[in-house]
Amino acid sequence: MERRQVEYFLAVAAHRSFTSAAHGLHVAQPSLSHAIRLLERELGTPLFHRLGRGVALTSAGEAFVAPARQIMRDLETARSVVRTIAGLEGGRLDIVAPTTLAADPLAELTGDFRGRNPAIDIVIVEPSDAAAVADVVRTGECELGLTDVRSRGKAVESLELCRQEVLVVVPRSERFPQVGPVALGEVAQLDLVATAPGTATRALMDEALGRQGRSPRIAVDTVHQAAVVPLVLAGAGATLLPRSLAEDAARRGAVALTTRPRLIRPVWLLWRGGPLSPAAEAFIAVAREMSEQQAAATPVQNKP
């Protein structure tokens, strides 16, 4: 079994098409098809159902996806180790994180890491939903992940990076001229702007306001995280955001208020148990420094 065959298999599985996979890999389709046929012959079973306008994974193909990702990850780890030992620099690190956590604290963490390791490329991807972060890390699709839900078990290890205070952000009006705090019961009665169910911010909103004995009133539901603050500024409703994003919204003209009781969410860095690439190990080391600094400083937003 060759690395090229495994790479081709994963590309076809992702694209559900030999033609699209070949185009994405910049290889000739006959070469890709031949490599897949050889792989299927070696494994002794078809991996794809050949359909009229595409392909679908067979049950054997579905079972091979996770091991194939592990093979690619292990090969990258082996190459990175050799490069490190040889004094070479380079490589790539894949990190999965919801949008709000990608903005804070991942942006600062990535900047710190890149300052020390400028030859390492970082790829940040968004999960299908907040609960999927641990699965993406566990299957090896990404080496690292950020989440506000701690994952327990042997397959995934975790480090608490920080604790974020979440503020309510409202349009500037006579109703909310104060600095705060505002009772969560009052927030639960507001028209709210929210991202789609399953996102980290929406889960926090549903849980925190649901404890007030009523479901949040979602006046505007959007898949576009970047549209949330402009919608609030336009008067469409209020929202909940981590302090750094809420304060940025306040600088743009909204009102950011603390809540009573205060909303605090922990942020966890996740990684797979077992061997990691040198880039991932270095990133975790930088993350540990951030965690220790946060604990030593004990900023206001870390105190419930």
Q: Is 9 in contact with 36 (CB distance < 8 Å)?
A: yes
Domain count of the chain? Answer: 3
Beta strands at 121-125 and 92-96: parallel, antiparallel or unpaired: parallel
Mean pLDDT of 205-218: 83
CATH code at position 96: 3.40.190.10
- For 19-62, write each residue's pLDDT tens digit: 999 999 999 999 999 999 999 999 999 999 998 788 999 999 99
Q: Sorting pLDDT into bands at 50, 70 and 90, what band is 303? A: very low
Other Cβ atoms less than 10 A from the Cβ of 97: the count is: 29
At residue 259, the pLDDT reads: 92
56, 85, 114 - which closes a domain: 85
Q: What DSSP element (H or E) covers 213?
A: none
- The better pLDDT of the pair 84, 124 is held by 124
138/173 same-domain check: no
Q: Taking Cα atoms as reference points, which of 243, 18, 283, 21 lies closest to residue 146?
A: 283
CA distance 92 to 109: 16
9/141 same-domain check: no
Q: Is 168 helix (H, G, I), strand (E, B) or coil?
A: strand
Query: Which tokens go with 228?
Result: 């949330």
151/278 same-domain check: yes
CA distance 57 to 69: 15
62/102 same-domain check: no
Q: Sorting pLDDT into bands at 50, 70 and 90, what band is 302? A: very low
Q: Is 90 in contact with 120 (CB distance < 8 Å)?
A: yes
Q: Is 64 helix (H, G, I), strand (E, B) or coil?
A: helix
- Tell me the residue ranges of DSSP E strands in 148-234: 156-170, 182-183, 191-195, 217-222
Q: Taking Cα atoms as reference points, which of 133, 144, 152, 10 lies closest to residue 67?
A: 10
At residue 298, the pLDDT reads: 59
At residue 177, the pLDDT reads: 58
174/214 same-domain check: yes
Q: Sorting pLDDT into bands at 50, 70 and 90, what band is 84? A: low
Q: Sorting pLDDT into bands at 50, 70 and 90, what band is 202? A: confident
Q: Is 93 in contact with 110 (CB distance < 8 Å)?
A: no
Helix and strand numbers (H, E) in the chain are 12, 13
Is it the case that residue 18 has pLDDT exceeding 80? yes
- For 267-283, write each residue's pLDDT tens digit: 999 998 888 888 899 99
At residue 134, the pLDDT reads: 92
Query: Which tokens go with 44?
Result: 């002794």
70, 85, 100 - which closes a domain: 85
At residue 215, the pLDDT reads: 78
∠ CA(78), CA(136), CA(227), 5° rounding?
Answer: 125
64/15 same-domain check: yes
CATH code at position 8: 1.10.10.10
220/239 same-domain check: yes
- The better pLDDT of the pair 66, 92 is held by 66
Is it the case that residue 86 has pLDDT exceeding 80? no
Query: Which tokens go with 64?
Result: 């091979």
27/76 same-domain check: yes
Q: What percent of the chain has pLDDT over 70?
A: 92
Query: Which tokens go with 63?
Result: 């079972």
Bin 16: left if φ > 0, else alpha if -120 < ψ < 50, else beta.
left
152/24 same-domain check: no
- For 52-82, write each residue's pLDDT tens digit: 788 999 999 999 999 999 999 888 888 777 7
Is it the case that residue 118 has pLDDT exceeding 70? yes
Q: Is 142 in contact with 94 (CB distance < 8 Å)?
A: yes
184/247 same-domain check: yes
Mean pLDDT of 102-129: 92
CATH code at position 233: 3.40.190.290
Per-state percent for the chain, helix, strand, coil, to nearest 5: 50, 20, 30
Q: What percent of the chain has pLDDT over 90?
A: 59
64, 85, 106 - which closes a domain: 85
- For 121-169, write each residue's pLDDT tens digit: 899 999 988 788 999 999 888 999 999 887 766 689 999 999 999 999 9
Q: Taking Cα atoms as reference points, which of 263, 236, 239 lies closest to residue 249?
A: 239
At residue 304, the pLDDT reads: 41
232/280 same-domain check: no
204/236 same-domain check: yes
Its domain, for residue 176, covers 163-264
CA distance 17 to 29: 10
At residue 175, the pLDDT reads: 66
